[in-house]
Amino acid sequence: LPAAQTLPSSFPDRPALQAIVVDPGHGGDDPGVTVGEIAEKQITLDVARRVRALVEGRLGIHVTLTRDEDRPLSADERAAAANNSAAGLFLSLHLNAAFGPSSSGAAVAYASLARDTPSGAPSAEPMVLPGPYGSVRTVTLVPWDLAQRGHIEASAALAGVVEAALREQVPMSPRPLRRAPLRALTGVNMPAVLVEMAYLTNPDQAAAIAGQDFQSRVADALFNAVVRYRTIAGGPP
């Protein structure tokens, strides 16, 4: 993954950033990691709302939350909400867990996909659809498991930006940048990262993430990341 100082200066083929999606992980009957009365699903929603307030209030960029209440969503439903939003980036918020209490720190991941479509796997195919006045138009339908493939370079850049911004605000994991075959991201048709904000299984981090100060620092970091990514994506500084 490129370090912050080696990020591309711009992505000239991408439109200016006018909207983003923030995905609060889990929800409803899927609480995520739970320690005592602290549930991942509520922390992710609280931080997502803070990010929305900052980004919309200070930048005028529209923010779509995949959920704004305590309800379950599948990975496909989250991807559909994102892909229908015409947004320019996707931040999926989560908390981490480990078998022992010592693991700590935030981390950022982006999707790992095969460079080429595996043999026998579905590929993007054109479809002819009727248009107005007897015309026809051709559209290319991309299977959702391939949607992220065209955004891997930009997702890597976004991950680097988010990691650098988080590092300024909160403790980081020894492996703060990761690449993995993440189901939460593969169907998202835009630059996308998954943010593990802290380890809820670490008592000190659990106490911190439940408080407003830590949540505000995470939200500030993600806001700063949006500002920086907007610059390399072709928007104003």
Enumerate the domain spans of the chain. 10-113+122-232
Query: What is the mean pLDDT of the segment spanning 18-27?
Result: 97
Architecture of the domain spanning 10-113+122-232: 3-Layer(aba) Sandwich (3.40)
Name the pLDDT band for 183 (thresholds 50, 70, 90). confident
Q: Which residues pair with 65 in a beta bridge?
A: 22
Question: Is a pLDDT exceeding 70 seen at residue 208?
Answer: yes
Rounded average pLDDT over 25-47: 97
Q: Are strands 38-39 and 34-35 parallel, antiparallel or unpaired?
A: antiparallel
Q: What is the torsional sign of CA 173, 178, 182, 184?
A: positive
Residue 64 · residue 20 · CB < 8 Å: yes
Q: Which residues lie closer than 8 Å to 92 by C-beta, 6 or more apart?
A: 23, 25, 78, 184, 185, 192, 193, 194, 195
**Residues 1-11: pLDDT tens digits?**
334 334 555 55
Least-confidence region, from 1-5, 11-15, 20-24, 172-176: 1-5
**Cα torsion angle, 94, 98, 104, 107, sign:** negative
Task: Grade residue 138 by pLDDT with cuts at 50, 70 and 90.
Answer: very low
pTM score of the predicted model: 0.83
Burial class (CB in 10 A: 0-12, 13-18, 19+), 31: middle
- Helices 212-232 and 152-167 pack at an angle, to 10 degrees, of 140
